């Protein structure tokens, strides 16, 4: 299980990355992340919505209420240009953390 | 399965939503989105063999309690109020500057009035008052500055959540600094007027 802080910090890049594959809605986003992380990333599900609304406010994503095949009204979220740009920046930052840690741990084989 | 048939999902959902609606930070549209979420979650959990009631309990538990959700929604939904607060402060700054500008007309009028009343020739307002009066047009500056700042907040989505408190503190401090010389400039001729009145009543 990821720490609370890391979950909070990674929510925006994860949502942006999932939406790169196409539009989605809250519940499906959570399912996808649970599946991809093998259950290690557990969001308090309701907390995702304020984050989505914040991202929409920041111009990263946009949303639309639409009827799904099941007849249920759902709010779909889709990536905007600003979101793609933000994702590129996030990617760079997370990759630099990842690379630094990887290099460090490679040179310290006995520390773990 | 008998159990799940007896369980009234819509009723339970309505009660759950009613409880969430007690949290002022959560808006109607948020409730609608959360309702769809719980319905999706219940459907999914039922396919895993849980009864409707169990599915409902697990689904709502995963969404989180109103106590935890409220503040998070408040951060997003409170922004309209924040923008409104910025607008009110802008209005306040503009009105205050207009008021200061208006009362700065007084030192110009008062000496004539005194002169007329006393039956003596026109006296000049005190030098300081005159200097402040001449700089009166600078009072357009603060409202324009505040307007530019508010425009920045509205236009740039990343700044939209900037709290109004800093803006309020800066505005109040700025206005106080402006009010000080204006107050003195207006008071000086009044003091002079009082002096003249006093000397008039003594010597005549």
Q: Which position has the higher pLDDT, B98 or B157?
A: B98
In contact, B90 and B148? CB cutoff 8 Å: no
Question: If you measure CA to CA, which chain B residue comes closest to A86?
Answer: B158
**Least confident stretch, A75-84, B77-86, B119-128:** B119-128
Give the Cα separation of A59 and A81 in Å (integer). Answer: 8
pLDDT reported for residue B2? 45
Residues of A with CB under 8 A from a CB of B: 25-28, 31, 44-47, 49-51, 53-54, 57-59, 72-75
The reported pLDDT for the residue numbered B109 is 76
pLDDT of residue B195: 78
Interface residue of A28, A39, A50 to substitute, partner B, most B CBs within 10 Å: A50
CB contact (8 A) between residue A74 and residue B39: no
In a mutational test of the B interface, the residue from A25, A32, A34, A45 whose CB has the highest number of chain B CBs within 10 Å is: A45
pLDDT value of position B33: 93
The residue of chain B nearest to residue A76, with distances taken between CA atoms, is B33
Q: Which of the listed CATH numbers 1.10.287.70, 1.10.10.10, 3.20.20.140, 3.40.630.30 matches domain A4-107?
A: 1.10.10.10
Where b means 16+ CB within 10 Å and e means fewer, B34-60 reads bbbbbbbbbeebbeeebbbbbbbebbb
- Kindly report the nearest CA distance between residue A46 and chain B, in angstroms: 4
- CB nearest A74 (choices: B30, B36, B79): B36
The domain spans of chain B are: 2-76, 78-203
CA dist A37 and B196 (Å) reads 86
Complex ipTM tops 0.85: yes
Q: Please answer yes or no on whether B34 and A58 come within 8 Å at the CB atom.
A: no
H or E segment and range at residue A67 = strand A61-67
Nearest CA in chain B to A59: B157
**Residue B169 pLDDT:** 92
Pairwise pLDDT comparison (A46 vs B111), residue with the higher score: A46
pLDDT given for residue B46 in this prediction: 94
- Report CB contact under 8 Å: B62, A45: yes
Residues of chain A with pLDDT under 70: 109-112
Q: Express each pLDDT in B7-32 by its tens digit.
A: 899 999 999 999 988 888 888 889 99
- Confidence band of B124 (pLDDT split at 50, 70, 90): confident
Q: Inform me whether the pLDDT recorded for B6 exceeds 80.
A: no
**Which chain B residues have any C-beta within 8 angstroms of a chain A C-beta?**
30, 32-34, 36-37, 39-41, 44, 62-64, 68-69, 72-73, 75-77, 79, 157-158, 160-161
pLDDT (0 to 100) of residue B70: 87
Quick one: what percent of chain B has pLDDT higher than 90?
36
Banded model confidence at residue B127, pLDDT cuts 50, 70, 90: confident
Question: Is the Cβ–Cβ distance between A42 and A33 less than 8 Å?
Answer: no
Sketch the domain layout of chain A as residue ranges. Answer: 4-107
pLDDT of the residue at B4: 46
Specify the pLDDT at position B202. Answer: 56
Contact between B76 and A57 using a beta-carbon 8 Å cutoff: yes
CA distance A6 to A54: 18
Calculate mean pLDDT across residues B122-145: 83
Q: Would the CB atoms of B63 and A46 count as touching at under 8 Å? A: yes
Is A47's CB within 8 Å of B33's CB? no
Q: Does B108 have pLDDT greater than 80? A: no
Check: CB of residue A65 under 8 Å from CB of residue B83. Answer: no
**How many residues in total does chain A contain?**
112
The residue ranking higher by pLDDT, B194 or A34, is: A34
């Amino acid at each position: 299980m990821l720490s609370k802080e890391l979950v909070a910090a990674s929510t925006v890049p994860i949502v942006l990355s999932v939406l790169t594959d196409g539009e989605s809605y809250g519940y499906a986003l959570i399912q996808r992340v649970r599946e991809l992380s093998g259950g290690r990333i557990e969001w308090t599900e309701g907390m995702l919505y304020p984050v989505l609304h914040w991202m929409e406010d920041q111009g990263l994503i946009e949303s639309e209420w639409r009827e799904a095949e099941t007849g249920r009204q759902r709010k779909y979220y889709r990536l905007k240009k600003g979101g793609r740009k933000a994702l590129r920046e996030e990617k760079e930052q997370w990759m630099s953390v990842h690379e630094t840690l990887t290099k460090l741990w490679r040179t310290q084989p006995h520390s773990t | 399965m008998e159990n799940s048939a007896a369980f009234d999902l819509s009723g339970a959902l309505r009660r759950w939503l009613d409880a969430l609606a007690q949290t002022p930070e959560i808006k109607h549209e948020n409730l609608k989105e959360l309702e769809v979420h719980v319905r999706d979650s219940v459907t999914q959990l039922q396919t895993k063999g849980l009864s409707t009631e169990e599915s409902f309990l697990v689904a709502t538990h995963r969404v989180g309690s109103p106590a935890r959700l409220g503040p998070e929604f408040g951060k997003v939904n409170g922004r309209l109020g924040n923008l409104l607060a910025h607008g009110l402060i802008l209005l306040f700054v503009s009105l205050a500057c207009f008021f200061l500008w208006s009362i700065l007309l007084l030192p110009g009028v008062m000496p004539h009035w005194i002169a007329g009343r006393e039956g003596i020739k026109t006296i000049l307002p005190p030098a300081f008052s005159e200097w402040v009066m001449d700089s009166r047009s600078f009072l357009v500056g603060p409202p324009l500055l505040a307007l530019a700042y508010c425009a920045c907040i509205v236009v740039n989505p990343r700044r939209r959540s900037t709290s109004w408190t800093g803006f309020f503190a800066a505005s109040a401090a700025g206005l106080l600094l402006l009010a000080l010389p204006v107050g003195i400039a207006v008071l000086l001729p009044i003091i002079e007027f009082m002096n003249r009145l006093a000397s008039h009543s003594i010597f005549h």
